[in-house]
Amino acid sequence: MIPETTIETVETILVDLPTIRPHQLSVATMRSQTLALVRIRCRDGQEGWGEATTIGGLQYGEESPESVKTNIDHHLAPLLRGENADAFARLLRTLRRSARGNRFAKCALETALLDLRARRLGVPLSELLGGRVRDSLPVAWTLASGDTGRDIAEAEAMLELRRHRAFKLKIGLRAPEDDVAHVLAIRRALDGRAGVRVDVNQAWSEMQAERAIAQLQDGGVELIEQPVPREHPAALARLARRFVVPIMADEALHGPVDANLLARLDAADVFAVKIAQSGGLFAARQVADIAAVNGLGLYGGTMLEGGVGTMASAQLFSTFDRLDWGCELFGPLLLTEELLTEPLRYRDFELQLPSGPGLGVRPDPDKLAALRRDRSAPRLH
Ligand code: MUC
Ligand code: MG
């Protein structure tokens, strides 16, 4: 007899959503975000959801929403269909062994398998990842309008709403001296009321970084994220040694092997842990463990996911023994459309985790039907 927990369908659905304002990074200006949502459904109708997002198509990493969909549809879904979803660890091993790379696609599938398994067990997904030590996460906001005055006004509004009191500034597009002036103006405007950090997204050479970080450090900036290209871990290490202000690795961390290398090189003071960039939730856990055993700080990163990917990340970050720098799981707040049946809860500067089983969130079938890229597709049942 075929078990009711047999996987019948694996679907990947692309959804394009406008952002609330242009989001300017050194590598891309985003005016919309594309979610690659994955739904795994079993014979008995039970389903699990996952999500992958990239930034600026192929401008940030090697995968795109379209590559995630194509590679799941053609190569990864056939490895899962007909298999028993309860054996999720074996299925994850099959995915790892049968396909190279494709960290984002694998993360979306892993999330859906874990959501499914946790739902069947009636526990939050965090229970499968070691268990929660916190029910809410301090959450930073990214100021990236490209305009100093507008960024200050945005930060003031967030403080007033009690939604964020740590601000990450995206820099690296303009000349370093212009960026430094922009950052320090915002830092001064928020003095004593909020923390200011910068993310350079690999834009600087080591020499540019040396000069600019010295000024940012003197100006009271609290954290410097990925100032130099991911290919130059030795340069990152020299900067980490030279400055007191903590240096955080982001793009340099494509999973546990990179984490191990960076730790051995003393290349960073803090790791930004991202579930998809790490290759999945368990791989991201390993990245966090490597940080912890080496006494490095931890930060919960984002790829500007929608509600499903944001909650998958939050479920993992809730299990970290320490989360020294909080997280930046604000992705859904950057989008104009709410896709979940119930929006995520942001309160008192923190993202609240739901207590329900699995991810604790679900896309709304009607909203999904209206917003999916292939609108002619049959409505999900
Ligand atoms: C990154 O590089 O950290 C996170 C926040 C944001 O605005 O962009 C991302 C990616
Ligand atoms: Mg970053």
pLDDT number for residue 146: 87
* pLDDT above 80 (res 276): yes
For the stretch 166-175, pLDDT in tens is 999 999 999 9
Predicted confidence band of residue 103 (pLDDT cuts 50, 70, 90)? very high
Which ligand is in closest contact with the Cα of 223? 2
Q: How many CB atoms are located within 10 Å of the residue 233 CB?
A: 19
- CA separation (Å) from 118 to 94, 187, 216, 262? 20, 43, 44, 33
* pLDDT above 80 (res 266): yes
96: region left, alpha or beta (phi > 0 left; psi from -120 to 50 alpha): alpha
Compute the distance between CA of residue 59 and CA of residue 340 in angstroms, rounded to an integer: 27
Compute the distance between CA of residue 45 and CA of residue 67 in angstroms, rounded to an integer: 27
% of residues, the chain, pLDDT over 90: 97
Question: String of b and e for 345-371 (b: at least 16 CB within 10 Å)?
Answer: ebeebbbebbeebbbbbbbeeeebeeb
If DSSP codes are grouped into helix, strand and coil, which group holds residue 6? strand
Compute the distance between CA of residue 315 and CA of residue 128 in angstroms, rounded to an integer: 10
User: Can you spell out the DSSP letters for 142-193?
Assistant: EE-SS-HHHHHHHHHHHHHTTS-SEEEEE-SSS-HHHHHHHHHHHHHHTTTT
* pLDDT above 70 (res 379): no
pLDDT number for residue 231: 97
Predicted confidence band of residue 378 (pLDDT cuts 50, 70, 90)? low
Which ligand is in closest contact with the Cα of 141? 1
For the stretch 115-140, pLDDT in tens is 999 999 999 999 999 999 999 999 99
Question: Which neighbouring-strand residues pair with 15?
Answer: 35, 372
Query: For 218-238, what is the mean pLDDT?
Result: 98
144 lines ligand 1 (CB under 6 A): yes
pLDDT number for residue 380: 64
CA-nearest of 138, 136, 328 to 250 is 328
Compute the distance between CA of residue 277 and CA of residue 255 in angstroms, rounded to an integer: 7
- CA separation (Å) from 333 to 43, 119, 121, 158, 305? 35, 26, 30, 11, 10
* pTM given for the model: 0.97
Residue appearing with tokens 């000069």: 211
User: Which has more confidence, 204 or 378?
Assistant: 204
Atom of ligand 1 nearest to the CA of 144: 7
142 lines ligand 1 (CB under 6 A): yes
* Mutate-to-test residue for ligand 1 from 275, 304, 325, 335, highest number of ligand atoms within 8 A of CB: 304
Predicted confidence band of residue 377 (pLDDT cuts 50, 70, 90)? low
Compute the distance between CA of residue 77 and CA of residue 102 in angstroms, rounded to an integer: 13
Q: How many CB atoms are located within 10 Å of the residue 337 CB?
A: 13
305 lines ligand 1 (CB under 6 A): no
3-state helix vs strand vs coil in the chain, percent to 5? 40, 20, 40
Q: Quick one: tokens of 249?
A: 């690795």
304 lines ligand 1 (CB under 6 A): yes
pLDDT number for residue 375: 82
pLDDT number for residue 75: 98
102 lines ligand 1 (CB under 6 A): no
* pLDDT above 70 (res 96): yes
Question: In the chain, count of helices (H) and strands (E)?
Answer: 13, 13
Looking at every residue in the chain, the average pLDDT score rounds to 97
Which ligand is in closest contact with the Cα of 330? 1
* pLDDT above 80 (res 220): yes
Residue appearing with tokens 């609330």: 20
For the stretch 65-77, pLDDT in tens is 999 999 999 999 9
Contact between residue 86 and residue 5 where contact means Cβ atoms under 8 Å apart: yes
Select which of 69, 106, 168, 170 is catalytic.
170
pLDDT number for residue 362: 97
- Decide if 168 is catalytic: no
* Mutate-to-test residue for ligand 1 from 20, 24, 25, highest number of ligand atoms within 8 A of CB: 25
From the CA of 173, how far away is ligand 2's center (Å)? Answer: 14
* Mutate-to-test residue for ligand 1 from 30, 145, 199, 254, highest number of ligand atoms within 8 A of CB: 199
For the stretch 149-202, pLDDT in tens is 999 999 999 999 999 999 999 999 999 999 999 999 999 999 999 999 999 999
Q: Quick one: tokens of 151?
A: 């960024």
For the stretch 279-328, pLDDT in tens is 999 999 999 999 999 999 999 999 999 999 999 999 999 999 999 999 99
